[in-house]
Amino acid sequence: MVGCVILLVEDDFGLAFLIKKYLELHGMVVIHESRGDMVLNQIQEEKPDLIILDLSLPGKDGLDICREVHLGFFIPVLILTARDSDTDQILGLELGADDYVTKPVEPKVLHARIRALLRRYLVKETVKFHAPKKNNDENLCFGLLFINNSSRTVKFDNKDILLSTADYDLLWVLASEAGKIITREKIFSTIHGFESDGFGRSIDVRISRLRKKLFDHPINPYRIKTIWGKGYLFVKDAWNVSV
């Protein structure tokens, strides 16, 4: 998206140069920062539309930065790192990252993911769903679970459920298809705006995180079920009991 400001936090100057050059060729404004302890200052001064964040940084670890950004700013964070362990990916997503990409990555793939995140945050395109039981065009209600899509808020048993942007988007996709099996590929493409390139684990991680926040059983989930070999099922009538 032409004119969008990207804060690139990367201590590999060669890689940062290549990413910066590629994104600028596509009309984006890229600000490079190599130190983790300078990121918050850059955010306050430059007001970026999106942050590309490495994890291994001098001054401050990227996971700590991700937590601070999630708590203090409404800015999408795309983690770009050589750390490819499940633990790091889970931590990054748990702390509020909107996407997690491992190096090396093709520039066109990185650009596509950036555009998808920017569409969600800036353009605010509304994906039209064939939704189940509705109170109105912006609400979904299942027993004690109430989802208000206008305010992007969630309540369970009249208690607020705090969800990150990524978690809310995932819940809305699942709840809008309640009672139907929805594949990982469809979840990914609906949320991101482009087809999955094989990094399907991020959907599984986010499903696990969402279950925890919605008080689903950690070992035998009954509210958001895994249908092996097919995808996930949001169960309509599993929200009538408080916890």
Write down the pLDDT at residue 60. 92
Of residues 114, 120, 125, the one with CA closest to residue 167: 120
User: At 196, which amino acid appears?
Assistant: S
CATH of domain 5-123: 3.40.50.2300
DSSP-derived 3-state class of residue 156: strand
Q: What is the distance between the alpha carbons of residues 185 and 231, in angstroms, rounded to a whole number?
A: 9
Write down the pLDDT at residue 129. 39
Write down the pLDDT at residue 123. 47
Domain boundaries, the chain: 5-123, 139-234
Within 10 angstroms of residue 229's Cβ, the number of other Cβ atoms is 6
Tokens of 191: 């949320």
Q: What is the distance between the alpha carbons of residues 106 and 144, in angstroms, rounded to a whole number?
A: 44
* Tokens 């209600």 -> residue: 141
How does pLDDT run along the chain (243 residues), one tens digit per residue? 667 889 999 999 999 999 999 999 998 899 999 999 999 999 988 888 899 999 989 999 898 998 888 777 878 899 998 887 777 778 778 777 888 888 888 999 999 999 888 887 754 433 333 334 444 457 899 999 999 988 888 999 999 988 877 788 899 999 999 999 999 888 888 876 666 555 446 688 788 889 988 999 888 999 999 999 899 999 999 999 876
Return the CATH fold of 139-234. Arc Repressor Mutant, subunit A (1.10.10)
Write down the pLDDT at residue 54. 93
Q: What are phi and psi of 173, to 5 degrees?
A: -60, -50
Q: Is the dihedral of CA 119, 121, 124, 127 positive or negative?
A: positive
Q: Put the strands of the sheet holding 231-234 in their side by side order.
A: 181-182, 231-234, 224-227
